[in-house]
Amino acid sequence: MDDWEFRRLHRLMVLARRIDEDAIALQRQGVLPAYAPAKGQEAAQVGSAAALDPARDFAFPTYRELGVAVAMGVDLVGYLSTHLNIWHGGMYDSQASRLAPFNAVVGGPVTHAVGWAMGAKLDETGGAAITYFGDGASSQGDIHEAMNFAGVYRLPVVFFCQNNGWAISLPAARQVAGGSVAARASGYGIEGVRVDGNDVEAVFEATRAALDRARDGGGATVIEAMTYRLGPHSTSDDPGRYRSLEDEQAWTGRDPITRAARRLPEADLAEAEQYAAEVVERVREGLQALTPRPAEELFSFVYREPTAALLAQQRAWKESLDA
């Protein structure tokens, strides 16, 4: 990776961190009902997303992939608007941005990514999918089915696990049999790679290699990025009830942004912070300017053709307004 690319990734990580911090502040102020912080996972998210080809690849996130959205250039007001519960899956163009609406179902985006990858293979588009999940989600049945399906059909998909050591309050050692998510890949006949998830360059290189292999017909890869969630699981969580202060302090010393900053001059660090501050201000103002959407849009765009059940719900809703 050349110096320009490394500076770009550092700048994106700083932006992701500052947006994340501001989102927490907005939640505490009552602007956002809830939020899932990503502090400490910036290298895993930015490094992997930066390896994508936006002209042909597609990403399928959970509810915590702010760094992925930042790296892919997604409209951040539209992305964060999902936390305001005013639109289906966010007010950004997922088709144009190549980032699917984020998914709050544990393991949910993984099956979607495999379905997209099957379509890409049948259409011979040459693109690959990447899907994100945590170490806790790796124990979901859907993930195993998705990996098996991808292995059988040699699908162009990268399963990107951010192993932050905790499935909310349950340590990974108590819910990942064998101790490694990447090691499971061999059982499905696909590649498995474990990488330092706090090293943005290592993540970028591992993901780029997996995507290249997927596009070339080499099949799927499981990447297990070993990282740490420096903040709580969500804004309603208290990690002090299950994590030790010593453990948190040890991982703070391995902060991915601090590590990357050691390679850069002070001028680059100052420029990254200035850029982040300007974007944070614009995003905050944009979020606070949003107003509730018309209530009838609750029934819009759920299906291409409304189902009988959905139409019945819509009629019942309208009747309740007239009652």
Q: How far is residue 102's CA from residue 112's CA, in Å, rounded to a whole number?
A: 11
Choice between 302 and 161, residue whose per-residue pLDDT is larger: 161
Is-contact 256 13, C-beta < 8 A? yes
This prediction has a pTM of 0.92
229 in catalytic set: yes
Q: How far is residue 176's CA from residue 218's CA, in Å, rounded to a whole number?
A: 27
- List Cβ neighbours of 312 (8 Å cut-off, separation of 6 or more): none
| Residue 196 bridge partners (DSSP) | 226
> 54-104 pLDDT, tens per residue?
999 999 999 999 999 999 999 999 999 888 877 766 788 999 999 999 888
* Catalytic residue, candidates 233, 243, 259, 284: 233
Give the mean pLDDT of the chain: 93
SS (H, E, C) 103-152: CCCCCHHHHHHHHHHHHHHHHCCCCCEEEEEECCHHHCHHHHHHHHHHHH
> 261-283 pLDDT, tens per residue?
999 999 999 999 999 999 999 99
* CA angle at 61 for the pair 55 and 63, rounded to the nearest 5°: 145
Beta strands in the chain (DSSP E): 58-60, 129-134, 157-163, 166-167, 170-171, 191-196, 221-226
* Catalytic residue, candidates 28, 88, 242, 282: 242
233 in catalytic set: yes
Residue 323 confidence (pLDDT) above 80: no
pLDDT of residue 11: 98
Q: How far is residue 237's CA from residue 132's CA, in Å, rounded to a whole number?
A: 21
> 111-127 pLDDT, tens per residue?
999 999 999 999 988 99
Least confident of 155-169, 195-209, 288-302: 288-302
Nearest to 61 by CA among 158, 141, 194, 151: 158
* CA angle at 256 for the pair 222 and 278, rounded to the nearest 5°: 115
88 in catalytic set: no
pLDDT grade, residue 164 (50/70/90)?
very high
Nearest to 219 by CA among 147, 291, 303, 285: 147
pLDDT of residue 89: 65
Is-contact 39 237, C-beta < 8 A? no
Give the SS3 label for residue 163. Answer: strand
Q: How far is residue 145's CA from residue 179's CA, in Å, rounded to a whole number?
A: 20
pLDDT grade, residue 170 (50/70/90)?
confident
Q: How far is residue 143's CA from residue 224's CA, in Å, rounded to a whole number?
A: 14
Q: How far is residue 55's CA from residue 127's CA, in Å, rounded to a whole number?
A: 8
Which tokens is 50 given? 């930066």
Nearest to 171 by CA among 99, 124, 233: 233
Domains of the chain with bracketed CATH: 3-292 (3.40.50.970), 296-323 (no CATH)
pLDDT of residue 183: 94
Neighbour count for residue 297 (Cβ, 10 Å): 12
pLDDT of residue 75: 95
Which tokens is 167 given? 């499935």
Choice between 194 and 296, residue whose per-residue pLDDT is larger: 194
Residue 248 confidence (pLDDT) above 80: yes
High-pLDDT (> 90) share of the chain, %: 73
* Catalytic residue, candidates 229, 243, 259, 284: 229
Distance of CA 192 to the CA centre of its chain: 20
Nearest to 15 by CA among 54, 64, 63, 73: 73
Mean pLDDT of 187-210: 97
